[in-house]
Structure 1
Amino acid sequence: MDSVGAEGLLAGASLLSRPAEEFGNDPSVEAMWAMKAMEHAEVYFNILCSVDPKFLKLTPHDDQIYSLFRDKFPDFKVKNMKENDLKSEDAKKEWRPYCEQFKGVVEDYSFGTLLRLNCEEDYSEDNSILVTRIQFYAIELARNKEGFNDVIRSKFSAKKKS
């Protein structure tokens, strides 16, 4: 990201707000999306290392996102997931109606966002999956409210400070 420079990042940011149909499969746009997802992941993890997750507010709609998530997925295990929990054909059929109800409600609800599969670990190639922003919010809000992210601050805050 450092090699792109400030001007490149600003140009990229304006490009990412354009309609997707304009780009096809442009690899430079895919790279910008990946950088944006990684930047979001870093910021979120740093916040988890600094603040008690129970007090985090991720959106103005946190209560609605969480309650509808637990209504739709009462037994969904948010602590440690497998890719198929979110990406199998059956999972996609279950998640799609949940996600779509936030269209026009939650800004950037469908943006690609990195999610940790095991909430007790940092982001890594083996522990990260790309999901929609609303799936990220639903799962991370559940982790925060249900105490699963509590371990992050004690486990990683000393590492992040050094």
Structure 2
Amino acid sequence: MAVNFGNEIGADGLLAAASVLERPADEFVNDTMIEELWAIKAFEHAEIYFNLLSSVDPKILRLTKLDDQLYKHFRETFPDLSVASVTEEKLKSAEAKELWRSFCEIYKDCVEDYNYATLIRLDSSKEYSEANSMIVPRVQFLAIELARNREGHNDLIRSNFKPKKLQSRS
């Protein structure tokens, strides 16, 4: 992914952004700077997560303290959802949104940043790119990636991709 937001803002700006982004969402109007800061945070998370997938066996990754519960609940709620490849329609149709909203709200008080905008890969066999990414709430990302890790859909990432040096954000 060739996006490089961090060099324009610098370390001080990113630290300030982190404190601003912790404020309640209803305090913000459609501010393009806030949207850019959310995008930066989502992109940094994606880089780190993909490097983890490129470095270790995904089956041993622990994403939260609630991995087992989250995965079990996900498969009970979405037993037929193929996580190898997802589409915007599968995740964001009116029907899907209603199911996902109920699913995510259960984790409001027990998964940190449960509703943060997080990038997910549409096709689990490929890396993050503009064409292969979509923004979802963090809990939705966690549920799908736990399924991908446990069901073997991320197994070939280590063979096909090497960890990348993270870009300096200062």
* TM-score calculated relative to the size of structure 2: 0.91
Paired residue secondary structure (2:161) = helix
1:97-136 per-residue CA deviation (whole Å, 9 max, x = no partner) reads 1111111011111111000000000001110000000000
Structure 2 residue 46 is the aligned partner of structure 1 residue 41:
yes
Which residue of structure 2 aligns with residue 21 of structure 1?
26
Structure 2 residue 33 is the aligned partner of structure 1 residue 4:
no
Which residue of structure 1 aligns with residue 168 of structure 2?
none
Paired residue secondary structure (2:82) = coil
Equivalent position amino acid for 1:152 in 2:
I
Separation in 2, partners of 1:139, 1:77: 9
Equivalent position amino acid for 1:106 in 2:
V
Separation in 1, partners of 2:18, 2:100: 28
Separation in 2, partners of 1:78, 1:22: 35
Paired residue secondary structure (2:81) = coil
Which residue of structure 1 aligns with residue 128 of structure 2?
123
Which residue of structure 1 aligns with residue 90 of structure 2?
85
The CA deviation at 1:5 is 1.1
Equivalent position amino acid for 2:14 in 1:
L
The CA deviation at 1:160 is 3.3
* Higher deviation after alignment, 34-43 or 81-90: 81-90
Which residue of structure 2 aligns with residue 160 of structure 1?
164
- Please report the RMSD computed on the Cα atoms of aligned residues, expressed in angstroms: 1.1
1:73-104 per-residue CA deviation (whole Å, 9 max, x = no partner) reads 11110001111010111111121111111110
Equivalent position amino acid for 2:164 in 1:
K
Separation in 1, partners of 2:147, 2:11: 36
**Larger proportion of helix:** 1
Structure 2 residue 79 is the aligned partner of structure 1 residue 74:
yes
Relative contact order (C-alpha < 8 Å, sep 6+): which is higher? 2
Structure 1 unaligned spans of 5+: none
* Higher deviation after alignment, 133-142 or 98-107: 98-107
Paired residue secondary structure (1:4) = helix
1:128-159 per-residue CA deviation (whole Å, 9 max, x = no partner) reads 000000000000000000010001010002x7
* Higher deviation after alignment, 94-103 or 65-74: 94-103
Structure 2 residue 109 is the aligned partner of structure 1 residue 104:
yes
The CA deviation at 1:72 is 0.6
Which residue of structure 2 aligns with residue 51 of structure 1?
56
Point out 4+ residue stretches in structure 1 off by more than 6 angstroms.
none
Structure 2 residue 148 is the aligned partner of structure 1 residue 140:
no
